């Protein structure tokens, strides 16, 4: 384990994929399983079905898929052991993941963003950008900024909301 290199003045606002108001989200009725690319704090897409059986029909992908499913929640379980290790934000292949259809979740901004912009997610790459409602790849989720901020930069913690 490496030595700490910086100290923040304030506690962290939240971790990507953490629910803002616990217990207020609405999840998929199906129990999706990861194809190995699902990451907490990112979007999930339907994955190509491989294999047979009922579980194969509910595979979810974080990088390449066909249709948007929802937002992947961070759950501290055997699948993701530590909220402090960003590398452990990925759900291993074959593990279940909680995918939200609605709610408020913390996320790491993928670029410069302003309050109220729509979240756009490309199903071909999983890349998240921001723009106007109704644009191509609009997820239906909007960005809110914590602590009364008007803008945020890449890597800042923001809130994705869908009501």
* Residue ranges of domains in the chain: 26-162
Look at residue 138 and tell me whether its pLDDT is greater than 80: yes
Enter the tokens of residue 136: 């191509």
Contact (CB, 8 A) for 12 and 157: yes
Q: Where are the beta strands (DSSP E) in 6-163?
A: 26-27, 33-34, 43-46, 59-61, 68-72, 99-108, 113-114, 118-121, 128-131, 138-144, 151-152, 157-162
Q: Are strands 68-72 and 43-46 parallel, antiparallel or unpaired?
A: antiparallel
Q: Average model confidence (pLDDT) for the chain?
A: 85
CA distances from 9 to 17, 59, 100, 145, 154 (A): 23, 41, 32, 19, 19
Residue 59 has what pLDDT?
79
Residue 7 has what pLDDT?
77
Report pLDDT digits (tens) over 18-71: 999 999 999 999 888 888 888 899 999 988 666 666 555 677 888 777 889 999
The structure's pTM equals 0.84
């Amino acid at each position: 384990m490496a030595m700490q290199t910086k100290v923040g003045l304030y506690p962290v606002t939240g971790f990507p994929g953490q629910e803002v108001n616990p217990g207020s989200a609405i999840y998929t009725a199906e129990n999706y399983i990861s194809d190995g690319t699902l990451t907490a704090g990112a979007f999930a897409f339907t994955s190509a079905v491989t294999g047979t059986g009922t579980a194969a029909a509910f595979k979810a992908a974080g990088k390449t898929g066909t249709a948007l499913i929802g937002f992947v929640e961070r759950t501290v379980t055997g699948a993701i052991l530590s909220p402090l290790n960003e590398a452990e934000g990925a759900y291993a292949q074959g593990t279940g993941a909680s995918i939200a259809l609605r709610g408020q979740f913390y996320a790491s901004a993928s670029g410069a963003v302003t309050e109220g912009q729509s979240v756009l997610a490309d199903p071909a790459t999983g890349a998240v950008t921001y723009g106007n409602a109704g644009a191509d790849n609009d997820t239906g989720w909007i960005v809110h900024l914590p602590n009364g901020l008007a803008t945020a930069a890449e890597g800042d913690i923001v809130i994705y909301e869908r009501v």
